[in-house]
Chain A
């Protein structure tokens, strides 16, 4: 029982990270109907930005942890958002209005470019990061044999995710940017006639998606303490799976899918085998797609005849 509780905590933490990345996929899919395969690498760039920020903060002699974290967060957020904007600007916008496949190929190309770029600048070896936040609560006493740990870092990850999701949901539901995004999702031509600058709205979508991925990258840097240039690939595919599982295009779906994937992975690795955790995650995706092709929270697309 204690063991399961521990796995739930771990899975939830991991799921929060997947969920944040998945939002980027689902938002971009919603607004331009394209899978941004470079999004996983944007997350990787975010992780590296956070790592570099942490090192610079360390050499500057700032040792107060909240300040360290705040600087990491802001640097990763702003720089990664700039990367997200740039990718959209140079790789997707010129292809708007061409076939659906063209930006997809361009996205895969961008993904390779970003990986090689980071490999070139940072070297191919995994980079270790010293832990910043240690310790946590013991939820059960040691007399029961197994101590359930809830790390401070895990608490921070979950709280930060909840806070970001709240802000994000507010932006989408209540602000004029969110309204414009939803309008562009439904009918780009009409939105443009009402004076909505569609290109700008799409840029802002990429910026928000990249910023959320950057936060995910920073949290992974702190959580696992190792970054390498290839880390975006698997995480990206997982987050994409989460987005599809929840119903691509649906924002609550992306979060739900992320948490489910995180939980499945954690529980599978605990009770079966850690090597096959990816198989479990993708297996669930296959099952969901067979029985509910639009995902858990996705609305079926009604085609008018």
Chain B
């Protein structure tokens, strides 16, 4: 699909609309009435001091938690909007096409790099193979699906520069490579919304610069939306089109990087109040 056509079929709604999201754990309010939107083909940064509720927000979006109050609407092109808070966990990946990574690396360490990317394409392969049992008969449609999946996996390996390590166990890769492999694996699910939880954590400056390039190219070439939690301001300011700032579960600011940089509420949250 070319870009112009995609533009036309995009619904008028933003990609992700978060309305009055509240998440309580007993007496603790992790997210307090937060509302914001993430637009199509934009990188939306979610920043805030530790404990601000950023990861909880991701857990609500990807179905780990059921929000106490609020609505999460995902409106992708060519399909009716979906209410994420009402969907079962695995269906958010399977049907709503939301992919995510975690703060800590969660690759399938015992499987090869290529297999990690193939697992991400499990659904279409299962459908093509008649839930495997028919696939054992070696029907051509199954082999074709397997080949297409492998091509996509190899495409992403090329992009992150790990083609030569395709058959190595994922757990044996250096940390920076594992981080990029996680993003590639998330992309192999062909998501419409990619949620990245601190992808630059533990990366050196050169690696975070590479990450910036990768994220921008995903946004520009594939036109998907990215939701990015990050503490590394070089990544946030270098990639985000739009930034949402949380503090103690409440949204305290929302705007372009330059607006956020000079927002007094943000400065207060990060640096504390100046004494009179």
What is A's interface to B at a CB cutoff of 8 Å?
A: 167, 170-171, 175-180, 182-183, 186-187, 189-198, 204
Q: Are B111 and A176 in contact (CB under 8 A)?
A: no
Q: Give the docked Cα–Cα distance between A208 and B64 (Å).
A: 30
Q: Are A196 and B122 in contact (CB under 8 A)?
A: yes
Q: Give the docked Cα–Cα distance between A175 and B186 (Å).
A: 20
For A176, what are the chain B residues with a Cβ–Cβ distance below 8 Å? Answer: 118-119, 121-122, 125-126, 129, 132, 135, 146, 149
Which of the residues B94, B102, B125, B185 comes within 8 Å of A197, measured between beta carbons? B94
Q: In the complex, how many angstroms separate the beta carbon of A246 from the nearest chain B beta carbon? A: 18
Q: Are A190 and B108 in contact (CB under 8 A)?
A: yes
Q: What 0/1 pattern do residues 105 to 133 of B give for CB contact below 8 A with A? A: 01011110001001111110110010110
Q: Give the docked Cα–Cα distance between A177 and B93 (Å).
A: 17
Q: What 0/1 pattern do residues 152 to 173 of B give for CB contact below 8 A with A? A: 0000000000000000000000
Q: Is B212 an interface residue (CB 8 A)?
A: no
- Which residue of chain B has the shortest Cβ distance to A197 in the bound complex? B90
Across chains A and B, the number of contacting residue pairs, with CB separation under 8 Å, is: 88
Q: Give the docked Cα–Cα distance between A303 and B37 (Å).
A: 41
Q: What 0/1 pattern do residues 176 to 206 of B give for CB contact below 8 A with A? A: 0000000001100100000000000000000
Please report which residues of chain B, range 27-85, place their CB below 8 angstroms from some CB of chain A when the two chains form the complex.
62, 64
- Which residue of chain B has the shortest Cβ distance to A194 in the bound complex? B120
For B8, what are the chain A residues with a Cβ–Cβ distance below 8 Å? Answer: none
Q: Give the docked Cα–Cα distance between A175 and B94 (Å).
A: 19
Q: Is B216 an interface residue (CB 8 A)?
A: no
Q: What 0/1 pattern do residues 80 to 105 of B give for CB contact below 8 A with A? A: 00000000011011100001101000
Which of the residues B62, B115, B189 comes within 8 Å of A179, measured between beta carbons? B115
Q: Is B271 an interface residue (CB 8 A)?
A: no
Given contacts A171-B132, A195-B93, contact A186 B108 (CB under 8 A): yes
Q: In the complex, how many angstroms separate the beta carbon of A199 from the nearest chain B beta carbon? A: 8
For A176, A189, A190, the residue with the greatest tally of chain B CB atoms inside 10 Å of its CB is: A176
Q: Is B233 an interface residue (CB 8 A)?
A: no
Q: Give the docked Cα–Cα distance between A295 and B11 (Å).
A: 57
Q: Give the docked Cα–Cα distance between A182 and B121 (Å).
A: 14
Q: Are B126 and A193 in contact (CB under 8 A)?
A: no
Q: Give the docked Cα–Cα distance between A183 and B135 (Å).
A: 19
Q: Are B99 and A194 in contact (CB under 8 A)?
A: yes
Q: Are A204 and B132 in contact (CB under 8 A)?
A: yes
Q: Are B131 and A193 in contact (CB under 8 A)?
A: no
Q: In the complex, how many angstroms separate the beta carbon of B63 from the nearest chain A beta carbon? A: 8
Q: Give the docked Cα–Cα distance between A229 and B58 (Å).
A: 52
Q: Is B136 an interface residue (CB 8 A)?
A: yes
- Which residue of chain B has the shortest Cβ distance to A190 in the bound complex? B106
Q: In the complex, how many angstroms separate the beta carbon of A218 from the nearest chain B beta carbon? A: 19
Q: Are B90 and A192 in contact (CB under 8 A)?
A: yes
A-B contact pairs, 24 of them (CB 8 A): A176-B121, A176-B122, A176-B129, A180-B122, A180-B126, A182-B110, A182-B111, A186-B109, A186-B111, A187-B106, A190-B108, A192-B90, A193-B93, A193-B100, A194-B119, A194-B122, A194-B189, A195-B90, A195-B93, A195-B120, A195-B123, A195-B189, A196-B93, A197-B90
- Which residue of chain A has the shortest Cβ distance to B100 in the bound complex? A193
Q: Are B108 and A193 in contact (CB under 8 A)?
A: no
